[in-house]
Amino acid sequence: DIQMTQSPSSLSASVGDRVTITCQASQDISNYLNWYQQKPGKAPKLLIYDASNLETGVPSRFSGSGSGTDFTFTISSLQPEDIATYYCQQYDNLPMYTFGQGTKLEIK
Amino acid sequence: QVQLQESGPGLVKPSQTLSLTCTVSGGSISSGSYYWSWIRQPAGKGLEWIGRIYTSGSTNYNPSLKSRVTISVDTSKNQFSLKLSSVTAADTAVYYCARAPLAGWFDPWGQGTLVTVSS
């Protein structure tokens, strides 16, 4: 099984800060990596697919990069509405999908 | 746009079978090349993929749950369903249904439904 390790597990930042979350796969997954945002009491929302492609309608302050085993998710300028938990998800070994454990982002 | 809505009992007794249905609106469950998945999330924890079905009826399950899971589709009702047998308290979670293209991202998701396993 492919394991996904996100870091940090929690993060506190100020409005306007640049925020970076990393996700490491236990083996090479090419670019088969997606990022989701989950606000409290809500379903996850797709933000980035295939490592670096911004989903339609998602603000451009969100971005993703990486390939192979190491991936990065960035918010260029943190906004109050970005407070959420963020998850990475791989799909290299379909039909099995696995998620990272999540990164909880809070406002400092 | 396509929307998904989960429905089913919110309380299930231990050892019984959890049954949920996902109703798809705004489009046909049979159109396009999509898989229809169930995903769950225990309170305060991460996301776990349970399984998926294609409109042909072909299914795939998470090996950790495979012996207890059945996913089926009813194209006439634009619905797909989850059955999880022999439940325990560890199966208490919010259960989501979601759509995935042949590539592997989930979008959209249903709003989720909380299922509690308790006597």
Contact list, B63 vs chain A (CB under 8 Å): 96
Calpha distance B75→B55 (Å, rounded):
7
Task: Please report the pLDDT score of residue B55 as a whole number.
Answer: 86
Nearest residue in chain A measured CA to CA from B44? A40
Which one has a higher pLDDT value, A13 or B104?
A: A13
Contact list, A94 vs chain B (CB under 8 Å): 104
- The alpha carbon of residue B9 is apart from the nearest alpha carbon of chain A, in Å, by 19
Give every strand in the sheet of B3-7, ordered side by side: B3-7, B18-25, B79-84, B69-74
B48 close contact with A: CB closer than 8 A: yes
Residue A44 near residue A55, CB atoms below 8 Å: no
B52 close contact with A: CB closer than 8 A: yes
Percent of chain B residues topping a pLDDT of 90: 92
Average pLDDT across chain A, whole number: 96
Q: What is the DSSP string of B49-115?
A: EEEEEETTS-EEE-TTTGGGEEEEEETTTTEEEEEE-S--GGG-EEEEEEEEESSS---SB---EEE
Calpha distance A46→A43 (Å, rounded):
10
Using pLDDT thresholds of 50, 70 and 90, give the confidence band for residue A94: confident
Task: Please report the pLDDT score of residue A4 as a whole number.
Answer: 96
B47 close contact with A: CB closer than 8 A: yes
Average the pLDDT over B66-70 and give the result.
97
Q: Test A46 with B105 for CB contact under 8 angstroms.
A: yes
- Choose the closest CB to B109 out of A43, A95, A96: A43
Average the pLDDT over A76-103 and give the result.
95
pLDDT at A1 over 90: no
